[in-house]
Structure 1
Amino acid sequence: MDCSICSSYPVIIRPPRNTICGSCLEGIKTAFSLMSSLEGGVGQEAEAPRLESSHHHKSLVSSTAKSKELTDLVEWMKRTKKVENELSQQISFLAGSLVSAFQEQIHTDLKIKPSNGPPISAHKAILAARSQIFKNMLDSDSCKSSPSDTVTIAELTHEELESLLEFLYRGSLAPEKMDKHVYSLMLASHKYEISYLHKSCERHLLENLNVSNALDVLEILDFCSHQKLKDVVLSFVVKNIDDIVFSVKYEAFCTKNPHLSVQITRASLIDARDRRRTGDHC
């Protein structure tokens, strides 16, 4: 149908020229709902425009009040965009100065030694602010008495430690670095209780979950005791059981993680049983 909002040629719409399609209606309703939830609505809770249906066509019922609400919606979107830009500039200012201090090694007061390669200089205040575990380590008597102010993180390689520190200073990592080090960063976020890094790794793992890495992700989430996300990945494994069980890495995975292989078997049997029951009911 001709829609007065999304039509390519709204000037040739035949009267009445207030016709709106279902997609545009849902968009308007969603926008009003979002505005109401974030700002408590405009005056009374904003309502989506009412529609009248006739022969599968829906027409927008216009009124002065509704026009005012649409105007308020546009103004709210402008204000929100302005706030977004201001926050972006603020984050750039704060993170940019910290990253520069790290990259240029300005007044560093700590050296962190990885499992290989040279130590990396950092700032105690940044590490303590980002992680309570790091704060406790730096506050301990053994660290205070160290003449060289050096701590060791033996579970990370030099490259992994560099990525961890970059995240602590910047608050993000380039996609290629996250792809390469997400497993080690996930473990580090768990061990040192860096919640924001933990959430970033979780999001990355789920967004990039596939048949080839599902077992690795399942193993990491099991180690981190993240049961909710572990169940999501376990369900994915069950849905792709044929591809995963007959893969090259599955045998080595089972040898290393017998408890997880048992959980996969049980989940597969439960899924098969539920599908049979559904089929019987149908």
Structure 2
Amino acid sequence: MDCPICNYSVSPIILRPLRYTICGACYEGARSLIALINKLHNGNNDKGTSKANHGIGNALKWVKEMTEVEEELNEKVRFLGGFVSAFKDHIHTDINVKPGDFGPSIPAHRALLASRSSIFKNMLEPDSYITTDHPPGGTITLAELNYEELQCLLEFLYNGDLSKEKVEKHVYSLSIAADKYEIPYLQRFCESQMLRGLNLSNVLNVLEISDTCSSLNLREEALNFIVRNMGDIIFLPSFEEFALKNPHLTVQITRASFLENKNTRNVI
């Protein structure tokens, strides 16, 4: 007979049926858990999944394996975190990065900057930046970033993450910097944060950033959100200013809204 949960033929085993039953929620949860485990397993195994990988009996084993993987990754992160300490404590820094608001330069490491961005790599080639009185590798200026934004950018390049407060405050400027200096991981990070926090008060800014950074996915999600909430957004105080500043995006909003209304009428 087939198991009602994993759908594989098994020898029937009945465990005290008069005392133990399974509710609909647990049944669906068990099926969903098995489906997720099998999907993840198949994604990591080109040869497919054997019957031994099916069933709730293997769920705990899989969770244990994933926990071990997580612990290994955390250990690796801690190991690589030594470079973060070198940045914070200015250990053997060899380049100064200057913001565009006349704030103080921030010491950094040329090798790390070059490894994170091909643009930085080109900027740091010999004779491609101006050497000043800073020791010994000179100074580069990121004119579009103020001091706080530059600090966040460098922290992310070293650490691969930022606190929630810093992300919320600087996500737009970081996204533009990620696009300009070709830092794909930072760009994906910023897009994820913007989509996760999309709301009426920021969706127009997100749409504007998506256009500046040529992010199709971000633009599509922002447009869809605007269309779904068109009645509220067009009366926002910021909408008129946005429309005057971005007429081409306003046209896209109008067209998307028209198509949505047309499709809705056709369905009805």
TM-score (norm 1): 0.81
Task: Please state if 1:16 is matched with 2:1.
Answer: no
Contact 1:234 1:264 in 2 (8 A): yes
Q: Provide, for residues 125-175 of structure 1, a one-character-per-residue CA deviation record: whole Å limited to 9, x for no partner.
A: 1111111111111125322x6354110100000000000000111110000
Q: Provide, for residues 228-264 of structure 1, a one-character-per-residue CA deviation record: whole Å limited to 9, x for no partner.
A: 2201111111111121111111111111101011111
Unaligned stretches of 5+ in structure 2? 1-15, 43-47
Please give the root-mean-square deviation of Cα atoms over the aligned residues, in Å.
2.0
CA distance in 2: counterparts of 1:76 and 1:227, whole angstroms: 36
Distance 1:270 1:76, change over 3 A: closer
Deviation (angstroms), 1:18: 4.2
Q: Which residue in the other structure is 1:83 paired with?
A: 69
Task: Please state if 1:254 is matched with 2:243.
Answer: yes
Contact 1:115 1:155 in 2 (8 A): yes
Contact 1:42 1:72 in 2 (8 A): no
Q: Which residue in the other structure is 2:11 paired with?
A: none
Task: Please state if 1:211 is matched with 2:211.
Answer: no
Contact 1:109 1:121 in 2 (8 A): yes
Q: Which residue in the other structure is 1:59 paired with?
A: none
Q: Which residue in the other structure is 2:98 paired with?
A: 113
CA distance in 2: counterparts of 1:90 and 1:228, whole angstroms: 31
- DSSP-derived class of the 2:90 partner: coil
* Structure (1 or 2) with the larger CA radius of gyration: 1
Pairing of 1:59-78 with structure 2 (within 5 A): 69-78=55-64
Task: Please state if 1:124 is matched with 2:110.
Answer: yes
TM-score (norm 2): 0.85
| AA in 2 matched with 1:134 | F
- DSSP-derived class of the 1:151 partner: strand
Deviation (angstroms), 1:29: 2.4
Q: Which residue in the other structure is 1:37 paired with?
A: 39
Pairing of 1:170-185 with structure 2 (within 5 A): 170-185=159-174
Contact 2:206 2:218 in 1 (8 A): no
| AA in 1 matched with 2:106 | I
CA distance in 2: counterparts of 1:227 and 1:42, whole angstroms: 35
